[in-house]
């Protein structure tokens, strides 16, 4: 092993190329499985690949599980991290602490053997994959043998005792969405959630319902009103209306607005996993309203120029996945909403055994 450069709390000592950048921007990281003094080395059990990234990889592999596995192995071997060059996004991991660096012992009580979920993106996490065992093509969960490194500044959460691990991982992956909704939405407001029947969309709708209250209005938008998630939103009352529309189709959105959102939304949350929906979120939002682009498929250029082009004076927020206390807020959203909790358990805990083995 090469001598290590001066240790950096932000992880720059793990950057192989190019020089002078932090790990998220780096093209390649050193994923050597040792815990330097300011690091936490983990044995990884599973990766939760970011939805936009997983969808892109599945499409590029024609839905073939062996090709998805080969794609992920090659990507991580090349970059020393799971940083999809097409979508720019990553995901998170769940694993067990193998070693805590000498300078971090006593770090929030963390010790070897503890099971944790990372709350920083895989796009900046040194990752080594020795083997891929199973892939759940429905959820983007990949069970691996390998290691990951968390830096001194890296966020993580202990896995809760009252939820299956797979469920906790699904919720923690998108924890920023319900946490930001809790901050942004005020009682009586109108909220639109685009991509409402996915993980982040469901949590965002439940949180918006609670915050907007009985005087508020929550509208979900998604391509299919017959999905289990869309039916849950309506049946449990998390939305007042579910609009069946493809958010890439602005004319479909414009046609739906008079009935669903006659006064437009005070707050719009974009939770889609496809590109090309920015203008729909903009059109759904009233002047001086706020759009939170949680989606990793968001184009800054399309959003900025799109709003200007249609003369919309809206505040647009980049979807920072982190908000203080976001993990606790997201898990609590599930605990406070038994129908949502049942849905997540059915969808994410029950599918795990059916995941496709990878030889
Ligand atoms: N900001 C962050 O830190 C952060 C963290 C994690 C994830 N993300 C991103 O957040 C987004 C959502 O993640 P997720 O895990 O919640 O994804 P998900 O569970 O896969 O949900 C995606 C949702 O988008 C909907 N959708 C797809 N195409 C659509 C269209 N044309 N029009 C309207 N809705 C459409 C899907 O509907 P169907 O299921 O019916 O197709 C689904 O409801 C992704 O882009 C992901 O990469 C961001």
pLDDT computed for residue 106 by the predictor? 66
Mean pLDDT of 60-71: 97
CA of 2 to the centre of ligand 1 (A): 41
> What pLDDT, on the 0 to 100 scale, is given for residue 154?
83
The string of pLDDT tens digits covering residues 203-215 is: 999 999 999 999 9
Secondary structure class of 332 (helix, strand, coil)? helix
Query: How high is the mean pLDDT of the chain?
Result: 94
Q: Whose CA is nearest to atom 35 of ligand 1?
A: 195
Q: Model confidence at 23, in pLDDT bands (50, 70, 90)?
A: very high
pLDDT digits (tens, 9 = 90+) for 293-313: 999 999 999 999 999 999 999
- pLDDT over 90 (residue 152): no
**Rounded Cα gap, residues 39 and 53, in angstroms:** 27
Distance CA 330, CA 344 (A): 12
For range 198-202, the mean pLDDT: 97
Provide the pLDDT confidence category of residue 66 given band limits of 50, 70 and 90: very high
Q: Does residue 354 carry a pLDDT above 70?
A: no
pLDDT at 4: 58
Lowest average pLDDT, out of 36-45, 103-112, 149-158, 204-213, goes to 103-112
Q: Is the CB of 271 under 6 A from ligand 1?
A: yes
Mean of pLDDT values over 61-84: 97
- State pLDDT tens for residues 265-284: 999 999 999 999 999 999 99
DSSP strands (E only) in the chain: 15-17, 28-29, 39-49, 91-100, 115-118, 127-136, 141-151, 156-158, 190-194, 217-222, 241-244, 265-270, 285-293, 315-318, 356-357
CA 267 – ligand 1 centroid, Å: 17
Residue 351, pLDDT above cutoff 70: no
Q: Is the Cβ atom of 273 under 6 angstroms away from ligand 1?
A: yes
Q: What is the pLDDT of residue 343?
A: 97
**Structural tokens at position 69:** 């596995």
Ligand 1 pocket test, pick from 203, 256, 272 with the greatest ligand atom count within 8 Å of Cβ, gives 272
pLDDT at 193: 98
Q: Would you state the pLDDT for residue 359?
A: 64
- What pLDDT is stored for residue 86 in this prediction? 95
Q: Rounded CA gap, 286 and 90, in Å?
A: 32
Share of the chain above pLDDT 90, in %: 87
């Amino acid at each position: 092993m090469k001598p290590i450069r001066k240790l950096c709390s932000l992880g720059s000592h793990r950057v192989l190329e190019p020089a002078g950048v932090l790990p998220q921007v780096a093209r390649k990281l050193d994923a050597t499985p040792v815990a330097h003094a300011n690091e936490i080395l983990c044995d990884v059990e599973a990766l939760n690949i970011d939805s936009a990234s997983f969808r892109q990889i599945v499409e590029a592999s024609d839905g073939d599980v062996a090709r998805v596995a080969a794609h992920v192995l090659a990507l991580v071997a090349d970059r020393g991290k799971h940083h999809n060059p097409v979508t720019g996004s990553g995901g998170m991991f769940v694993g067990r602490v193998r070693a805590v660096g000498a300078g971090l012992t006593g770090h929030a009580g963390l010790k070897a053997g503890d099971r944790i979920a990372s709350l920083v993106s895989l796009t900046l996490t040194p990752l080594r994959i020795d083997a891929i065992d199973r892939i759940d093509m429905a959820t983007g969960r990949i069970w691996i043998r390998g290691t990951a490194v968390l830096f001194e500044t890296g966020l993580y959460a202990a896995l809760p005792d009252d939820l299956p691990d797979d469920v906790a991982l699904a919720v923690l992956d998108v924890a920023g969405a319900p946490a930001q909704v809790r901050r942004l939405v005020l009682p009586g407001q109108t909220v639109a959630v685009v991509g409402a029947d996915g993980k982040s969309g469901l949590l965002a709708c439940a949180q918006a319902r609670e915050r907007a209250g009985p005087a508020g209005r929550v509208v979900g938008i998604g391509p299919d009103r017959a999905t289990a998630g869309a039916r849950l939103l309506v049946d449990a009352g998390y939305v007042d209306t579910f609009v069946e529309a493809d958010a890439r189709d602005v004319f479909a959105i414009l046609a739906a607005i008079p009935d669903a959102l006659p006064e437009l939304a005070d707050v719009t949350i974009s939770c889609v996993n496809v590109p090309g929906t920015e203008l729909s979120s903009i059109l759904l939002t009233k002047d001086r309203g706020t759009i939170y682009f949680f989606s990793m498929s968001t184009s800054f250029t399309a959003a900025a120029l799109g709003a200007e082009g249609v003369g919309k004076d809206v505040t647009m927020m980049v979807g920072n996945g982190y908000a203080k206390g976001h993990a606790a807020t997201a898990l609590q959203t599930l605990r406070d909403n038994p129908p949502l909790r049942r849905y997540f358990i059915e969808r994410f805990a029950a599918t795990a055994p059916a995941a496709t083995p990878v030889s």
